[in-house]
Amino acid sequence: MAATLFLVRHAKAADRGHWTGADRARPLTGRGRAQAERLARALAPERPALLSASPWLRCVETAAPLAAALGVDLRLDDRLGYDQADMDGWIREAAAHPGSVVVGVGHGDLIPMYLLRARLLDGPPAFRTGSLFRVRVQDGRPVAVAYVDRDDLPEPAA
């Protein structure tokens, strides 16, 4: 059985160097909110069966417009964040939705590390905020990946 996973890097968050609060509470910027809206417009037609995000605020805020567009609950999952990172486990569960589309919103270092360990990437990618990887999963294992840069997502309707 096959499934398609979209592994999304959270949108542009407040600058680490200027943020004085806890990193997990760092919010999206105005530009990040626009990126999140664009991601929602691009992914909503895919009708994901599952929408998960790291519980870190910037990931939640990135996934929220898609959850609203679909009218579904956002599932917060520590495995997509830093506290209990386990992308392998999350993907195994996500792959249990055969023939379906699943979206996970996480962090710009954790997603590529997973894809590198899975030997789906040749080297560290330029993985910009608000961008994603489309991963094809076959028999519970990722077998192919394609990078979709935020600039290649559909433009907002005029």
Which domains are present in the chain? Answer: 2-13+24-133+148-152 (3.40.50.1240)
The rounded distance, in Å, linking the Cα atoms of 67 and 71 is 6
The rounded distance, in Å, linking the Cα atoms of 3 and 134 is 10
Give the model's pLDDT for residue 99.
Answer: 63
The rounded distance, in Å, linking the Cα atoms of 76 and 27 is 16
CB of 18 closer than 8 Å to CB of 50: no
Give the model's pLDDT for residue 133.
Answer: 97
123: CB partners within 8 A, 6+ apart: 116
Give the model's pLDDT for residue 40.
Answer: 96
pTM across the whole model: 0.94
CB of 85 closer than 8 Å to CB of 125: no
Give the model's pLDDT for residue 58.
Answer: 98
The rounded distance, in Å, linking the Cα atoms of 94 and 87 is 10
Query: Low-confidence residues of the chain, pLDDT below 50?
Result: 158
SS3 category, 120: coil
